[in-house]
Chains A and B, each alone.
Chain A
Amino acid sequence: MVEMVKLVEGKHMKDAIPEFRPGDTVRVSFKVVEGGRERVQPFEGIVIKRRGSGMSETFTVRRVTYGVGVERTFPLHSPRLEGVTVLRQGQVRRSRLYYLRERLGKAARVKERKR
């Protein structure tokens, strides 16, 4: 029964998603409709969480612009999601990086993970 549901999901799911996890710095290319035409809007920042599984998986990217923290959540399998590029891998000790919200500047950095 559940297998059949998965099957339906499968058709809508993306097959090529790069591996990334909380702490990584990524560039997300997301299609937005602006004044009747579509364009790709990049969003760059640190992944602070990934949640859900299968079709409903989402991830949240945080960045600070002009001193204002901006967080955007993207559905991983959205057809409007063009791609995710991992710019830098981070070394973190938890899966939800909410502590970054209370930090500014240098304190809000994430250590780089060595391969």
Chain B
Amino acid sequence: MPRGILGRKLGMTQVFNDQGHIVPVTVIEAGPCVVVQRRSRERDGYEAIQVGFGPTKEQRVNRPLKGHFARAGVAPVRHLREFRVEDSAAYEVGQILGVDMFRPGDTVDVVGRSKGKGFAGGVRRHGFKRGPMAHGSKYHRGVGSLASRAGARVFKGRRMPGHLGAERVTVRGLKVVEVDADRNLLILKGAVPGPRGGLVSIREAKATRREKV
């Protein structure tokens, strides 16, 4: 059964593995999450569970959401996300999901919102090469040619400067290094999208990566 949980990125550090090698890790405060709603094939066309995470104040919740929480009989939460499951009937509304669903050694995918980088040029946004900064060059960090003259126009999809970051990013195949169920901490090898304090959803890896030797 696919597993998933919501969490908050706390920051990165490093730990040593059993061989004494340094492993870069991200610490995530994951869960406890509550099941707020079930989606079924008959009613919604797909199977999923809606999961809530993070306490919030009563006054921060608008009326429609208040009703939504009241129907589920759960306390209001700050974030709601859905996770696809094979059979939503296996879950109960109000059920609590904790980090203990993961074990060290599991592989997971992490979805988050990347840090916003504002309006960025082609070099930073698309990895274009820049021109010489001196020796009489007047071409420094510009985009260069947009197309050939024969097209007589700029084709759609031309990579240009624009807004970078603050978008949904999925990082696949991260290894679970440690699980601390008492403190709701999940420690993953590698980096995770978003700033410290950002919401991330963690689910079982969809594809398993070949073991690196």
Contact = CB atoms under 8 A, between A and B. Distances in A.
A1 B15 contact: no
A80 B22 CA distance: 11
B185 A8 contact: yes
Contact of A79 (B14, B20, B183): B20
A9 B13 contact: yes
B197 interface: yes
Interface residues of A, number: 18
Contact of A1 (B11, B14, B16, B183): B11
Contacts of A1: 8, 10-11, 196-197
Given A2-B11, A8-B27, A8-B185, A80 B20 contact: yes
A4 B16 contact: no
B15 A5 contact: no
Interface residues of B, number: 21
B187 interface: yes
Contacts of B196: 1-2
A78 B183 contact: no
B185 to A, nearest CB: 7
Contacts of A88: none
Contacts of A9: 13, 15
A78 B22 CA distance: 8
Interface in A52-83: 54-56, 75, 77-80
Given A31-B20, A78-B20, A55 B11 contact: no
Interface string B85-107: 00000000000000000000000
Contacts of A7: 183
Given A5-B10, A79-B20, A55 B27 contact: no
Given A5-B27, A79-B16, A79-B20, 20 more contacts: A1-B8, A1-B10, A1-B11, A1-B196, A2-B10, A2-B196, A4-B11, A4-B27, A4-B29, A4-B183, A5-B12, A8-B15, A8-B27, A8-B187, A9-B15, A54-B13, A55-B13, A55-B15, A56-B14, A78-B16
Interface of A: 1-2, 4-5, 7-9, 12, 31, 33, 54-56, 75, 77-80
Interface of B: 8, 10-16, 19-20, 22, 25, 27, 29, 178, 180, 183, 185, 187, 196-197
For the complex of A and B, list the 3 residue pairs with the smallest distance between their C-beta atoms, beginning with the closest: A80-B20, A5-B11, A12-B15
